[in-house]
Structure 1
Amino acid sequence: MTHPADPCTRSEFSGFGEDAPLELDAGLDLTGLVERFREGTANALCDTLAAVHNCARPVRLAGSSTTVDARTGEVLSTFRSADAPLGVLYRPCGNRRAHVCPTCSRTYARDTFALISAGVAGGKTVPERVADNPLLFATFTAPSFGLVHGHRGGRPCRPRRRDDRTRCAHARPQWCTTVHEPGDSRSGAPLCPDCYDTTSAAMWQWHAPELWRRTTIALRRAVAGHLGVTESALGERVSVQYAKVAEYQDRGLVHFHALIRLDGPAAAGIGAPAPPALDGPTLAALVRDTVPGVTVLAEPVDADDSPRVLAWGAQLDVRVVTAGHRVDDPNAALTPGQVAGYLAKYATKDVSGLHGEGQHRRHIAALRAACADLADRAARHQGEDHDYQRMSRWVHMLGFRGHFGTKSRRYSVTLGALRRARVRWQRITAESARTGEPIDTRDLERRLLADDEDETTVVIGSWTYLGTGWRDAAEEALALAAAARAREYDQWRADARTEATSKGRKPL
C-alpha cells in the first residue's frame, strides 16, 4: 500500500516486500476486503489508498469538474467521479489531529514546519535575510490555580522535610514523594481537588486568546518605548512578527510556544534588517519585563460570581535563537531548525493527548464540568447575551476557543498558500502527462506560491457530499497500517541520510 519513491533504496528497507506484509487486528472482520478481491476492485482500492495517502477518514464525493484556461476559455481537462478507481472521488480529510488521522496530521505538521522554518531561515518566497534578524523562542504558561502533581524529570513530585509537611484545610497532604513517570495519570491532578480553583482555571482558558492578543500589543509598545518612538510610528522603524502554537499541559490548561522575530520597517518587506539598537538579548529582556504586566479582566458570570484579573504564569521561558546581524553557532543548544520542529510537532496535538489509554483523569473531567457549568449559569442570566454562554460549544476543548497555530501577517508564507501550491503542482504534473511537455522548473517556486490573481486556470465543478470514511473497519485498518508503514519508511530514510552524512557519504 506504500509506494516509496526511490527504487534503489526500497530493497534495503525491511518493511518493503512480500515477506513484510501489513498486519491487521486478528479479530477484524475481513469480509469486505475478501469481497474486493472477488469483485476485482482490490487494485482500485489500493490506487485510492495511494491517492489519499492512506488517509484514515477520507471524504467521499460524487460529481465532476472542468479546468478552463482563464485567458482563452479553452477547456483543458474534465474529470468525473465515475472515472475514479472506485467510481467515487475520495479526498483526504485534512484533519490536523494525529489521533483522528495520522496521515493528514503529518501533512499539517509538514506545512506548519515549512511555514515556521521559512520565517526562521527563509524560503517559500520568504527572503533568506530573515535569518539575520533577532529571533526568540518563548513559552508562556498558565498561572497556578492550586498545587498539582507532576513529572519532575525523575525527581520526587513535591518532597518536603518531615517537619515541613502540612495538610490543607480539607486534611489532605500538601506533599508527594512519588516519582511520576511520563504518562502517569496523576500528573496534572490537584493534590486537593477542593482547594484547586477549577472555575478560575476554566475562565483563564477561555480568555487565553485575548491574553495573547494583549501581549502582542504590549510588546510592540515596549519596543516603541525602547526605540524612543510613538507606537503609531513604530512601523517606520521595526515590525514585530511571530508564529505560535498552543499545547495542552497535563493539568488541562494550554501554554503557548512562540517564535518572536524583529524585522526592519514594514514597508521594506518581510525580513528587512532590524536596527542595530535592538538585538536578540535586548528583545528578550523586553519580553521578560512586559509579559508579567499583561492582564485581562474576566467579568463575573452572574451575581454570585466575582470578577477575576487573569495573567500569565510565573514560568516564562525566553531564549535567544538568533541574536541578530550574525549567523549563530550551529553547535548551540537551540537552533532554528529545532524550534521549527518543536512547533510543528505541537501543532498536531490536542486535548485527546490528556486521556491515557484506559485512564480517566478526574481533574480533566472536573475542568470540562466547570466549563459546562459556567455556560449554564450564563444561559440562566436573564435578559443578557452573555459571552460565557458560548463556552458550551468548547467544553470538549476544556474551554480553549483559540486556534492552535497562529502567526502574524508578515511572519512568512501562509498555510493556504502551501495547500494551493500542492494543488497547482498536481495540475502541472497532470498537464505535463497529458501533453507530453516537460515541466518548466524555472521560477517554479514563485509560480506555485503566487497569489490567486496570478492564476491562469479556473476549475468549475459540481460536487455532492456522500459521506466520510472507508466502506468498513477493515479498509480503515488497512489505511492506518499502510500509513504506519509509510512513516516507518520515512524515518528509515531520514536515519539513513543522517548516517551517510556523518560518514561523509552521499545521502540517499
Structure 2
Amino acid sequence: MTRETRDRVWDAVPLRSTEQAGEGHPLDLDHLDAATEAQVLARLLSRDFDAWSEAASRVGHCARPIRLHGSSQTVDGATGEVLSSFSSADSPLGVLHVRCGNRRAVDCPSCSRLYAADTFHLIRAGVVGGKGVPEQVGENPMVFATLTAPSFGLVHGTRGGRTCRPFTPKGQDQTCEHGRSTVCHTRHADGDQLLGQPLCQDCYDYESHLVWQWWAPELWRRFTIDLRRALAKTLGVPETRLPDLVTAQYAKVAEYQQRGIVHFHALIRLDGPKSADGFALAPAGITASLLARLVEQAAAGVVFDAPPLNEADVVRRLRFGTQLDSRPVAAARRTDDPDRALTPEQVAGYLAKYATKSATDSTDTASPHARRLRATIAQVTDPIHADARRDGIPLREHPYGLLFKWRHMLGFRGHFSTKSRRYSITLGQLRRRRVRYERALAAANREGRTLDVRDLDDLLLDDTEETTLVVGQWTYAGSGWDTDGDAELARAAAARAREYAQERAANRHQNG
C-alpha cells in the first residue's frame, strides 16, 4: 500500500466521539515504524474496526485500558428490583474496557487530560464556587504560593535571558576543587540538554538532594502547622481557639524541576466559622496581602531534622528554598499587567497542568544527573536492605527502607495533588457524577430519547441520596490494547480530540 493510499484510509476513518469530528484534524501517525504502521492499517481495514472504534471511544481512546470479564446488575435499593443488567459479552469486542486512569500525560494523554479537567474544576470550585460550593468562598482571602527546594549545588539554568551563571571578567573564571568551572557564560535556550545539570557532579550534594526529596511531604505538613500558629498569633488567640475564628484550606500540587526535585504550588484560602451550608464565611481582619506575608513567614521558618542515612551519616536540617513566592488571588479579570493579582481561572489552570506532570516531563531521566540520582538511591538502600535481610527487620522500620521503591520518582513519595478536607468537592464526587451522567445518557440512547443535561439535577445529589445499587462480579483479563498499532491509533485519536477541543475553545473565546 502506497503512502498516498494509507493517508486516504486513515484520514477518512470516522472515529466515534463527539470531539473527534471535524475537518483539518487528521490522525498524526507519521512517526510509526514499519511494523506498527502495518498493525494500524490492519486494524483500519479489519472487519471488526467499527467494534474496536466503539470500544475505544467508550474509554475516551485511553492508551492502556483495563480489560475485564464479568457482569453487573443495577438494583433498586428500596425494593430490590433489578432495573438493568450488563455483561462484558455485550461489549463491542466481548470484553469490557475501562480507563487506566493514569494522571501522567506521558503514559496516557486521554486519561491525563480528564484528570487535569477534574483537577481544574475541583480547584476552581474552591475559588469561585460551583459544583455544590457556594459562591461566597470567592470573597475569602486567597493566595497562590510556590514553595521551592533549596540548592544542593550549582546547575545550568536560565536567568531571565541572561547568562546561566553571573558573568565574571575574562580571566577570572573560578574553578571548584575538582578543576571544573563554577561559572557558565552560555545563554541556554529551552530544550537545552544542559538545563538542570550540575556544573560539577562531584560537588553536587546528591545525598542531601534525596533526603530533602524524601522528607518534602513532612516539610509541607509542618508548614501547614506553622501557618496556623502564625494566624493564631496574628489574631491574638490561643492556637486551640483558632478553628472557632478561621481555618486555612488549600489545594496543592507538586511539580518536578529540571534538576529532578519537586516544588510545591498551592492555592491557600482562609475561611471563618462554618456556615449553615457547611462552608465557611470570610473571616474579618485578615486580607489576602496579610495572608501572603504569613505564608512566606511560615514557609521560611519551617525546619525538620532528617534522620541520618546510616550510622556514619549526619543529621540534616531541612528547609524550603529561599525562592518563596506568595501572591494574592483576585476575582477581578487579569489584564496584561504581570503585577496584577492572579485570577481563579489562571490558578486552576496552573495547578491542573502541574498535577499531570511527572518526573519524565520536566527531567531528562536519561541524563547523567538523573542516572547519578538513581545510583545514589541504590548506594543508600542496598546496605539497608542487606541489614534488614540479615536481621529479619521489616524495611518499613528504617526511615529510608522504602526509598528504593520510589527510585522511578527520583525519591519523591508524596501525592502529586492533595487538598484539605473542606477546600471544595473531591475528585471522587466529580467522577461519580460523571458515571451518573454516562448511565443517564446510555439509558436515553437505549430508549431513543434526547437527554437534556439541564434537567440532570440528580447529578449533584450527595452519595447518601443514591437510590440504586450496582452489584457486579468482574475478573481482570489484562491491560492495554491487543497490539502496539491499536495503542498508537488510540493515542492519535485522543490527540486529534484534544486539538479539536482546543480549537473550539479558542473560537468560543474569540467570538465571545
In the alignment, the residues of structure 2 paired with residue 282 and residue 410 of structure 1 have an alpha-carbon distance, to the nearest angstrom, of 22
Residues 484-499 of structure 1: matches in 2 within 5 Å? 484-499=495-510
Q: Structure 1 residues 264, 247: CA separation in 2 closer, same or farther (over 3 Å shift)?
A: same
Q: Contact conserved, 2:140 with 2:283, CA < 8 A, in 1?
A: no
Query: Structure 1: any 5+ residue segments left out of the alignment?
Result: 502-508
Is the CA contact (8 Å cut-off) linking 2:304 and 2:318 kept in structure 1? Answer: yes
Displacement of 1:432 in angstroms is 3.3
Amino acid at match of 1:179: R
Distance 1:153 1:166 in 2: 23
In 2, the alpha carbon distance for the partners of 1:487 and 1:260 equals 30
Q: Percent identity?
A: 52
1:506 maps to: none
- Alignment partner, residue 504 of structure 1: none
User: Structure 2: any 5+ residue segments left out of the alignment?
Assistant: 1-13
1:472 aligns with 2:483: yes
Q: Residue type matched to 1:193 in 2? A: Q
Match of residue 155 from structure 2: 148
Q: Does 1:255 align with 2:296?
A: no
1:452 aligns with 2:458: no
Amino acid in structure 2 at the alignment position of 1:328: A
Which of the numbers 382, 386, 391 marks the counterpart of 1:376? 382
CA distance 1:246–1:38, shift in 2 (3 Å): closer
Q: 1:246 to 1:36 in 2, by over 3 A?
A: closer
Instruction: Supply the AA of the counterpart residue of 1:290.
Output: A
Contact 1:264-1:273 within 8 A present in 2 as well: yes
**Which position in structure 2 is the counterpart of 1:293?**
301
* Structure-2 separation of matches of 1:227 and 1:36: 67
Once the two structures are superposed, residues 243-292 of structure 1 have per-residue CA deviations (whole angstroms, 9 ceiling, x without a partner) of 01000001110000000000111465555222221110111111122211
Q: How does 1:269-280 map to 2 (within 5 A)?
A: 271-280=279-288
Could you list the structure 1 runs, at least 4 aligned residues long, displaced by more than 6 angstroms after superposition: none
**One-letter amino acid of the structure 2 residue matched with residue 27 of structure 1:** A
Moved more, 271-280 or 398-407: 271-280
- Contact 2:119–2:427 under 8 Å retained in 1: yes
Structure 1 stretch 66-75 or stretch 381-390: which is displaced more? 381-390
Which of 402, 407, 424 pairs up with 1:390?
402
User: 1:154-193: per-residue Cα shift (whole Å, max 9, x none)?
Assistant: 2110133226532111121110001111222211111111
CA distance in 1, matches of 2:153, 2:40: 53
The alpha-carbon deviation at position 360 of structure 1 amounts to 2.9
Query: In the superposition, relative to structure 1, how do residues 454 and 74 fare at CA in structure 2: closer, same or farther (>3 Å)?
Result: same
Give the alignment's TM-score, normalised by structure 2: 0.90
Residues 391 and 29 of structure 1, relative CA distance in 2, 3 Å threshold: closer
Change (3 A) 1:441 1:486: closer
Pairing partner for 1:186 from 194, 197, 211: 194
Task: Indicate conservation of the 8 Å contact 1:2/1:486, yes or no.
Answer: no
Distance of aligned partners of 1:37 and 1:108 in 2 relative to their CA distance in 1, 3 Å threshold: closer
- 3-state SS, counterpart of residue 389 of structure 1: coil
Relative distance call for 1:21 and 1:296 in structure 2 (3 A) is closer
Q: Could you say what the CA RMSD is over the residues aligned between the two structures, in angstroms?
A: 2.2
Post-superposition offset of 1:348 = 0.6
For 1:417, the equivalent position in structure 2 comes to: 429
1:294-313 matched pairs, under 5 angstroms: 294-313=302-321
Question: What are the residue-to-residue correspondences of 1:51-450 with 2, within 5 Å?
Answer: 51-162=58-169, 164-266=172-274, 271-322=279-330, 327-328=331-332, 330-331=334-335, 332=340, 334-356=342-364, 360-381=366-387, 385-435=397-447, 444-445=456-457, 447-450=458-461
> What code does the residue aligned with 1:363 have?
H
TM-score for both structures, normalised by structure 1: 0.91
Match of 1:466, SS? strand
Distance 2:325 2:38 in 1: 54
CA contact (8 A) 2:255 2:264 kept: yes
Q: 2:39 matched to 1:14?
A: no
Seen in structure 2, the aligned counterparts of structure 1 residues 365 and 354 have a Cα distance that, compared at 3 Å, is farther
Q: C-alpha separation between the residues in 2 aligned to 1:167 and 1:78?
A: 73
Matched-pair contact (CA < 8 Å) for 1:124–1:413 = yes
Q: Are the aligned partners of 2:15 and 2:53 in contact in 1 as well (CA < 8 Å)?
A: no
Once residues 400 and 481 of structure 1 are traced to their aligned partners in structure 2, the CA distance between those partners, rounded to angstroms, is 31
State the secondary structure of the residue aligned to 1:194: coil
TM superposition shift of 1:431:
3.0
Contact kept? 1:140, 1:256, Cα under 8 Å: yes
AA matched with 1:498: H
Q: Tell me how far 1:398 sits from its aligned partner.
A: 0.7
Whether the 8 Å contact between 1:247 and 1:254 is mirrored in structure 2 is yes
Verify the 8 A CA contact 1:301 1:388 in the aligned structure 2: yes
